[in-house]
A and B are shown apart, each in its own frame.
Chain A
Amino acid sequence: MNENLFASFIAPTILGLPAAVLIILFPPLLIPTSKYLINNRLTTTQQWLIKLTSKQMMTMHNTKGRTWSLMLVSLIIFIATTNLLGLLPHSFTPTTQLSMNLAMAIPLWAGTVIMGFRSKIKNALAHFLPQGTPTPLIPMLVIIETISLLIQPMALAVRLTANITAGHLLMHLIGSATLAMSTINLPSTLIIFTILILLTILEIAVALIQAYVFTLLVSLYLHDNT
């Protein structure tokens, strides 16, 4: 039972490591680009969704922050499609691997910090001390704020990993419980119902992408403007 439960999270290999690369490269095939103004239904739907999310995300930034819009929109599209494809049966979700999420989180966070330090160094350093703290408390608070800054990329990566992995594990467990109960006890329809509800709630994995990009946005915003 133990080996089976986590077996779906092993990175698939063909004769070495790289099958996971193929699976990561699969979502762009579902997002066609087009040079025409009026497109087929799939392209029109996707362009409408992208326009909606990008407008929603980018209004709170100034001109300098909006230079990041391509990066952030592609980030949200990638994480959204990868998480949604992971809901299909037997599929492998690359975002369950902590290595990939760290590889996404650390460079982006470091980019925002470095951008803030390069442009307005005094404003960037001022984040370490909130306004109106009593004087004896200052050294401890600087340490605490530094730690909270340095833990941001870790939090981003671990949040995404843990949420997606936990959702998948729960679905596995409840699914196998349903199969086991179906021969024993027929009012196991309650358990089947739990699966359905859990699946729809798990499609709020897409909301997790919102969380990812929004926290990234918030930090970018703070580093740029304040």
Chain B
Amino acid sequence: MASVVGIFSHSSVSVPVKDKKLLEVKLGELPSWILMRDFSPSGIFGAFQRGYYRYYNKYINVKKGSISGITMVLACYVLFSYSFSYKHLKHERLRKYH
């Protein structure tokens, strides 16, 4: 993922590319690439912001956005909540001995 500065909501916001994208990194360089990433709080927040706008611009911010743009988010939310409640739910399996 290209490293950017500033608010990144669409591509005409001019940003410098700091280093290579993940798919262009060779396998031997992977540990050094991971260490070069910005893991400060603002860096992590920037990563979430970029991810959010990537999804938003692809599925919701289009001329004829359908309902699947938001149902995908809700389905992921259901799976996320399921993973939290798995601990309680595993007692309800249809087995003789729990």
Contacts and interface: CB of A to CB of B under 8 A. Distances in A.
B14 interface: no
A176 to B, nearest CB: 9
Q: Tell me whether chain B's interface is mostly helix, strand or loop, or mixed.
A: helix
Given A85-B77, A88-B74, A91-B81, A32 B56 contact: yes
A55 B60 CA distance: 27
Interface residues of B, number: 22
Contacts of B84: 12, 19, 90, 92
Contacts of A89: 78, 81-82
B85 A4 contact: no
Interface string B67-98: 00110011001100110110011011000000
Contact of B78 (A7, A30, A90): A90
Interface in A86-127: 88-92
A42 interface: yes
Contacts of B73: 29-30
B64 interface: yes
Contact of B65 (A12, A19, A30, A42): A42
Given A30-B70, A91-B77, A92-B81, A4 B61 contact: no
B52 interface: yes
B35 interface: no
Which size bracket describes the interface of A in this complex? 20 to 34
A40 B62 CA distance: 6
A219 interface: no
Interface in A1-33: 4, 7-8, 10, 12, 19, 23, 26, 29-30, 32
Contacts of B77: 26, 85, 88, 91
B79 to A, nearest CB: 9
A211 to B, nearest CB: 25
A32 B60 contact: yes
Contacts of B62: 40
- The 9 tightest CB contacts between A and B, nearest first, are A7-B88, A90-B81, A91-B81, A12-B84, A90-B82, A41-B65, A40-B61, A40-B65, A90-B85
26 contacts: A4-B92, A7-B85, A7-B88, A12-B81, A12-B84, A12-B85, A23-B81, A29-B73, A30-B70, A32-B56, A32-B61, A40-B61, A40-B65, A42-B60, A42-B65, A42-B69, A85-B77, A88-B74, A88-B77, A88-B78, A88-B81, A89-B81, A90-B81, A90-B85, A90-B89, A92-B84
Interface of A: 4, 7-8, 10, 12, 19, 23, 26, 29-30, 32, 40-42, 85, 88-92
Interface of B: 52, 56, 60-65, 69-70, 73-74, 77-78, 81-82, 84-85, 88-89, 91-92
